Structure 1
Amino acid sequence: MHWVTIIIIGIAANLDNLGISLAYGMKQVKIPVLSNAVIALISMIITYVAVTAGSTVVAYISPHTANVLGSLLLCVIGVWTLMSHRFSNQRIAGHPELFDGDKNLVISIREAMALGFVLSANCLAAGIAIGANGISALWTVISIGVFSFITVGLGSHFGSLLTKTLLGKYSTVISGWLLIIIGIFEVFIK
């Protein structure tokens, strides 16, 4: 089993969550445990659908070709993440009111659902690539969910302290590079 890949993909797919929740914490916007769980659940569902779709590709092409295509897709997603990080995530982090519709500085369950779909965009593309590589859907989904819950919880709680760290400032860049490294790693381990 590809335990290292599963753990790193869980971390990489959720570093944006950490950066955004840090910014929310800094602006005193609370993400309660139940809302955090909703965000993690949405990420898990989207990841499962994506991994299943990616693994379906293997039925139509050789496992080697699927592995190479999946690995290349991870690299492309990593490059895209690096190139696009300035736009979407900074807008979300800089304007928590986008998802705090009632302006009460608490992300409700309904608001968490919308935020969860936006934050799980990385999970969709990465999940397809992971599925094409033949990596366990169950463990990938669990990894994504656990790391989503951890990163959002930590970011929300420690927002004003951690947002000034390198991890808080460069979470999207780190995520992009991790995806590229995973893609390269997966080409050579099979």
Structure 2
Amino acid sequence: MHWITIIFIGIAANLDNLGIGLAYGVKRVKIPILSNAVIAVLSMIVTFVAVTAGSTVIEYISPHTANLLGSLLLCVIGIFTLFSNRFSKHSIAKNPEVFDEDKNHIISMREAMTLGFVLSANCLAGGIAIGANGISAIWTVISIGTFSFITVGIGSHFGVLLSKTFIGKYSTAISGWLLISIGIFEVFAK
């Protein structure tokens, strides 16, 4: 089993969530546990669909080719993460109150559903790549959900403190480099 990959994909897919959580924490917008759980579950659902789609690819091409394509896709996603402006997430980080529709400084479960779909975008392409590599769908889904819950929770709780740290400032770059590293690791892991 690819435990290292499963753990790092969970971390990489959710470092942006840490940044978003930090933005909410700085603005004193609370994300209650149930709302955070909704965000994590949506990430898990999107990841499961993506991993299932990626693992379907293996049925039509050789496992070696699927592994190479999946690894290459992870590297491409990492490079895109490094060089893109991340428009939707960038705007959330600058204006986190956008999803607080009732302006009560608390993200309700309904508001968390919209936010969760936006934050789960990272999981889509990464999940397809993981599925093409033949990595366990269930453990990947659990990793993504767990790290989503942790990063959003830590970010929103410690927003003011963590926003000034290295991870808070460079979460997108760290995420991109992690995805590239996972892709390279997966090429040689089989």
What TM-score does the superposition give when structure 1 sets the normalisation length? 0.98
| SS of corresponding position for 1:105 | coil
Alignment match, 1:19: 19
1:86 Cα offset (Å): 5.3
Alignment match, 1:129: 129
CA contact (8 A) 2:42 2:120 kept: yes
Structure 1 runs (4+) deviating above 6 angstroms are none
Alignment match, 1:113: 113
Whole-angstrom distance in 1 between the partners of 2:30 and 2:97 = 12
Alignment match, 2:96: 96
Alignment match, 1:164: 164
Whole-angstrom distance in 2 between the partners of 1:165 and 1:118 = 24
CA contact (8 A) 1:32 1:107 kept: yes
Alignment match, 1:188: 188
1:96 Cα offset (Å): 1.4
Q: Which amino acid letter does the alignment assign opposite residue 127 of structure 1?
A: G
CA contact (8 A) 1:85 1:173 kept: no
Unaligned runs of 5+ in 2: none
1:14 Cα offset (Å): 0.3
1:98 Cα offset (Å): 1.5
Cα 1:164–1:86 shift into 2, 3 Å: farther
Alignment match, 1:31: 31
1:109 Cα offset (Å): 0.5
Whole-angstrom distance in 1 between the partners of 2:88 and 2:164 = 20
CA contact (8 A) 1:85 1:172 kept: no
1:189 Cα offset (Å): 1.1
What TM-score does the superposition give when structure 2 sets the normalisation length? 0.98
Alignment match, 2:151: 151
CA contact (8 A) 1:67 1:134 kept: yes
Whole-angstrom distance in 2 between the partners of 1:147 and 1:131 = 19
Whole-angstrom distance in 2 between the partners of 1:110 and 1:87 = 23
Q: Which amino acid letter does the alignment assign opposite residue 119 of structure 1?
A: L
Alignment match, 2:65: 65
CA contact (8 A) 1:67 1:132 kept: yes
Whole-angstrom distance in 2 between the partners of 1:75 and 1:86 = 17
Residues 134-157 of structure 1: per-residue CA shift (max 9 Å, x gap): 000000000000000000000010
Whole-angstrom distance in 1 between the partners of 2:121 and 2:108 = 20
1:167 Cα offset (Å): 0.3
CA contact (8 A) 2:54 2:127 kept: yes
Identity score, percent: 79
Whole-angstrom distance in 2 between the partners of 1:26 and 1:97 = 11
Residues 58-111 of structure 1: per-residue CA shift (max 9 Å, x gap): 000000000000000000000111111453322111101221111111100011
Whole-angstrom distance in 2 between the partners of 1:100 and 1:45 = 23
